[in-house]
Amino acid sequence: GPKFVHMVYCFARYIMIEDMKKLSVGTGIPFAEAVMWTPEDMYMANARHRVAYNKLLQVLQRKVFVIQEYKKKAQ
């Protein structure tokens, strides 16, 4: 459900941030720190979050639909 999708989204974001921190060590690129900053315009930040969250939800729903169709055709 929605709670699970939100948990997966938060986990994926955490993994992405940790990976960026690891890859940007010693490069002089403060990209990982920039991800953790609080944006000045919270409205735009929330809008971007909603767009990304909805896109992830659509991808997961499409995947479930395709799997259900394959199961129907396999029977």
pTM above 0.75, yes or no: no
- pLDDT per position as a tens digit, 25-44: 666 656 655 666 666 777 87
Low-confidence ranges of the chain (pLDDT < 50): none
Give one DSSP letter per residue of 15-47, joined into a string. Answer: HHHHHHHHHTTTTT-THHHHHHSPPS-HHHHHH
Query: Distance between the two ends of the chain, CA-based, in angstroms?
Result: 27
Nearest one of 52, 14, 9 to 35, comparing CA atoms: 14
